[in-house]
Amino acid sequence: MFAYLRDVFRRHRRKFIFIGVFSAASVLLWKYAQRRLKEWQENEAAECLAFARRQHHFDSNQRTCNMTVLAMLPTIRQSLTKILDSDDLTQQLKNRPANKLEIWEQLKIISFSRPIAAVYSLCMVIVYLRVQLNVLGGYMYLDSFHGNNGTIHGQSQATPEIQKQYLATIQYLMGNGLKDIVEATKNAVEECIGKMSLKKSFQLQDLEHLLGKIRRKLEVWDNSDFSNGSTSLTKYFLPPEENGGLNEEELNAKWVELQSEEETTIVDEAYISQNQVMLHRLSQETRDMIESADFCQVLNTCLDTAFTRLMDNIACSFKPKPEQTHFDVLSISPCDTSLPLAKLIPVMNGQVHFICGDSPNHFVQELLLMECVKDFAANVYEAFSQSEHTAIP
């Protein structure tokens, strides 16, 4: 029996060796495939979890941005009504002064300037906050996702102190920037309607043409297709660039020095601190975003939509008031109705409360929910939530 088995094995030993090697290889390959499948499943689960986590953080960031804009509406409205105060002029007219015509001329400029400046300031705040909060949100996501890995001396890049100082930069737009916007708007309005008679009749298309003329004086686009240009409006967002005595090369060198230090050392007071370097970096990246073609395109789209909605609201004042015995007036289109400039003044003067009114404000909500605004916010967040942004290049 054993002799027979030896003879069979000797005659078919190559087959047995092949079957053995093949079986062993199959087992090893099966185990390898199982291990790779398990790794793939774990990686997929980790990626899905990371995506869900980042999506949740992004959505929370956008809600914060929307709530911030809505919370700033009273401040914008109060600032505009204070700078462009029409109540005093209106009160003077009630007393029948001798310079009545002069007061009417001042009221004309202020009444047209208020809604125009409100549209510009609101659109600029909406788009600027989208940049600021998503740039900061990207850094905060990296800090929370990577922990202390890749940060200087185990410290978070976006510390609460840095966040506070960085977010405070919007005060320039709400302060000096807003004043400059109002001043530029008044100059443009004065140039366009300063010499117009109060008796001049306006139809809706005339008013729309006038607003377009004022916009062209306020907005100077370096490139009409936004491919490589910016707009004159960017100067209102941030103060003139200052590096605190150090140029860009010195700031980058200081950043590398802080990163390369293995032990905590006392940095000489003559050098810029780590927080100042990070703040400078955030400021530079924000300025680059504001001067980008995408930012200009989104801002221009918001302005177009805002002025369209403003015209829709003004059109309600052009609707003729129906009398009880005159029903044909209901069929008259507002586009066929005209109003003298004097009657347009109170209409324009009150639009600031429509634009910057308290919640629910459908005017602002439409701007916040525009697809281009949401896509732009997603692109900014995506760009700054990648790990390659953990160091100044």
- Render pLDDT for 214-224 as a digit per residue (tens, 0 to 9): 999 998 755 54
Buried b (16+ CB within 10 A) or exposed e, 105-136: bebbbbbbbbbbbbbbbbbbbbbbbbbbbbbb
Angle at 228 between CA 222 and CA 229, to 5 degrees: 25
pLDDT value of residue 182: 94
Q: List, for residues 174-217, the tens digit of each pLDDT value.
A: 999 999 999 999 999 999 998 899 999 988 999 999 999 999 99
Beta strands in the chain (DSSP E): 201-202, 339-340
pTM confidence score: 0.78
Residue 322 lies in a domain: yes
Indicate the angle between helix axes 371-384 and 100-146, nearest 10 degrees: 40
pLDDT value of residue 262: 42
Measured over all CA atoms, what is the biggest interatomic distance in the chain, rounded to whole angstroms?
Answer: 136
Q: Retrieve residue 300's tokens.
A: 């221009």
Residue 320 lies in a domain: yes
> Is residue 326 predicted with pLDDT exceeding 70?
no
Buried b (16+ CB within 10 A) or exposed e, 172-198: ebeeebbeebbebbbebbeebbeeeee
Cβ atoms 304, 366 nearer than 8 A: no
pLDDT value of residue 155: 44
pLDDT value of residue 322: 58
Identity of the highest mean pLDDT range in 11-25, 103-117, 317-331: 103-117
Residue 16 lies in a domain: no
For the chain, the average pLDDT equals 80
**Residue 322, Ramachandran bin (φ over 0: left; ψ between -120 and 50: alpha; else beta):** beta
Q: Which domain holds residue 269?
A: 72-390
DSSP 32-66: HHHHHHHHHHHHHHHHHHHHHHHHHHHHHHHHHHH
Beta bridge partners of 231: 221
pLDDT value of residue 154: 40
Cβ atoms 62, 374 nearer than 8 A: yes
Q: Identify residue 173 by its one-letter amino acid code.
A: L
pLDDT value of residue 311: 94
Three-state SS at 346: helix
Cβ atoms 353, 84 nearer than 8 A: no
Q: List, for residues 114-161, the tens digit of each pLDDT value.
A: 999 999 999 999 999 999 999 998 888 887 765 544 444 344 567 888
Q: Give 5 or 71, the one with higher predicted confidence.
A: 71
Number of domains in the chain: 1
Q: List, for residues 336-354, the tens digit of each pLDDT value.
A: 688 899 999 999 999 999 9
Residue 243 lies in a domain: yes
pLDDT value of residue 393: 33
Identity of the highest mean pLDDT range in 11-15, 48-52, 343-347: 343-347
> Is residue 305 predicted with pLDDT exceeding 70?
yes
> Is residue 356 predicted with pLDDT exceeding 50?
yes
Cβ contacts of residue 190 below 8 Å, gap of 6+?
Answer: 109
> Is residue 246 predicted with pLDDT exceeding 80?
no
Residue 170 lies in a domain: yes
Three-state SS at 326: strand
pLDDT value of residue 82: 93
Cα–Cα distance between 129 and 123 in angstroms, integer?
10
